[in-house]
Amino acid sequence: MANGTTFTAWLKRTALLGVELRPGELSSVLGMFASLFLILFTAYLLKPAREMLILTEGTAEIRSYAVAAQALFLLFFIPVYGRLSRGFDTRRYMQIVTLAFVAILVAFAAAGKAGLSVSVAYFVWMGVYGVMVVAQFWAFASNLYNREAGERLFVIVALGASLGAWVGSAVARELVNHFDAYGLILAGAGVLFLSLIPAHWAAGRIPASSQGGEDQAKSEPSLLAGFKLVLSRRYLLLLAAFVILINLVNTTGEYLLAAFLEADYARESAAGAVTVSKSSYVGAFYSLFYFTVNLAGVLIQYFVVSRLLRFAGFAVAFAFTPAIVFLGYSALLVLPAIALFRYYKIVENSLDYSLQNTMRQMLYLPLSRQEKYEARAVIDSFGVRLGDLLQAGLVFVGLNWLAMEAVNFVPVAAVMAAGSLTVAMLILRERKQLLADQESAERAQSDTISEAEP
């Protein structure tokens, strides 16, 4: 017994980031951590398969068109997803959606093995799956836990995403030498199925004091309910604007990184400093880049997120990443530091994947179940893909109509980053008012109950 108590205390001090755990919360939070770890691990098995298929059966041009098709497909998928969410409780719906995703993955692998061309369809579906499976998990989590518990425990759960992405990317680098694309898809389907086990375990072991409410939708079912929710409520509309803007800034940065990398290769190749092919040069850079980003994300999630949240508060933790992004692009306007841009992108991406992602999930904790599922599906999936479309249009117009060079996009990114920081401030103001209104309503309800008692 003493050994068990000692181990639990050590686990709390180290692996659990010093987060204050209440009685009964340990098993549930570890289950949620494990489930999200497996979901992100799966993603990094499926992504190489996507690129292998689209660039062998298709072309880079087809790939760009497929990105646009992802946003269009979401317009049909999100309403169906939202309407179905009303018919099942939280745990059952998580199981149904995950099993449906597993079945679709197996179907893609079977069709490909049978000789059918699935590259474009799989690429489009992966764009939907990649954002929906994570949004589905966080909707599930934010409905299981109440706001107070979520704000304490989500920093531990989110570490599962950072670790899963890092370990998954490392494993995938080895598996591509032994599996074809369809083997990777089947492996991903198997791991995704396994993610249901710890999620089911966690859902049944949350103490009553930490549980969220299983409220049901009050409005009539509608295929456009999610979009209507976002457009009808200022808080949700601001969240959507923030997701679009922060993704627009990030993907513009990804374009700048690729453009600067191409310029570096051309310059070094001309000088005789590089003798490998452009493909090898780019592949070596990005493999190290993503490995470093994922590792940095793990370290930030482990050492920074919970401490920043605890000592500085939610507002500072949420605004930290958009502030750093704005300062970074602003610094590029006045400092000759383009050569250091890759290091800035490592900082931006790792903060986005760890700190910013965790804080963004907490924004949904005070909302209703309908908003957590239907509005969140619109914001976290369609908003991301809309950001992708806007970025593609921005680059196309800049390069082809305005004759801009890559470096000319830096001030554009700085302006968009300022916009995302402004929206972040507005979200914090709306959240403060939302929490105050909820506390007032709870006090009024408590007073009414007290007066009714004999």
- In the chain, what are the domain boundaries? 27-211, 222-440
420 neighbors 328 (Cβ within 8 angstroms): no
Whole-angstrom Cα distance, residue 76 to residue 96? 19
Tens digits of residue pLDDT in 322-339: 999 999 999 888 876 667
Residue type, 243: V
* pLDDT for the residue 450: 61
180 neighbors 89 (Cβ within 8 angstroms): no
- Structure-token pair, residue 80: 């169906």
Q: Residue 159: CB partners within 8 Å, gap ≥ 6? A: 17, 33, 298, 301, 302
Instruction: State the sign of the Cα–Cα–Cα–Cα dihedral 23, 145, 149, 129.
Output: positive
Predicted model pTM: 0.82
Whole-angstrom Cα distance, residue 246 to residue 446? 40
Measured N-to-C along each axis, helices 278-300 and 147-175 cross at an angle, to the nearest 10 degrees, of: 150
Pick the CATH number of 222-440 from 1.10.1040.10, 1.10.150.120, 1.20.1250.20, 3.40.50.300: 1.20.1250.20
Q: Which helix (H) or strand (E) holds 41?
A: helix 25-57
DSSP letters for 74-128: HHHHHHHHHHHHTTS-HHHHHHHHHHHHHHHHHHHHHHHHTT---HHHHHHHHHH
* pLDDT for the residue 61: 47
* pLDDT for the residue 55: 58
Q: Residue 22: CB partners within 8 Å, gap ≥ 6? A: 149, 207, 209, 210
Pick the CATH number of 27-211 from 1.10.4160, 2.115.10, 1.20.1250, 1.10.10: 1.20.1250
Cα atoms in the 13 Å half-sphere on the side-chain side of 182: 14
Q: Kindly state the DSSP code that residue 208 receives in the 8-state scheme.
A: G
Q: Which residue has the tokens 């639990």?
A: 8
CA dihedral (179, 182, 184, 187) in degrees, to 10, reads -110
* pLDDT for the residue 169: 83
In which residue ranges of the chain is pLDDT below 70?
A: 1-18, 54-68, 213-223, 279-280, 282-284, 287, 336-338, 446-454
Instruction: State the sign of the Cα–Cα–Cα–Cα dihedral 319, 325, 327, 330.
Output: negative
DSSP letters for 142-207: HHHB-HHHHHHHHHHHHHHHHHHHHHHHHHHHHHTTT--HHHHHHHHHHHHHHTHHHHHHHHT---
Same fold, 27-211 and 222-440: yes
Q: Residue 45: CB partners within 8 Å, gap ≥ 6? A: 168, 171, 172, 175, 184, 185, 187, 188, 191
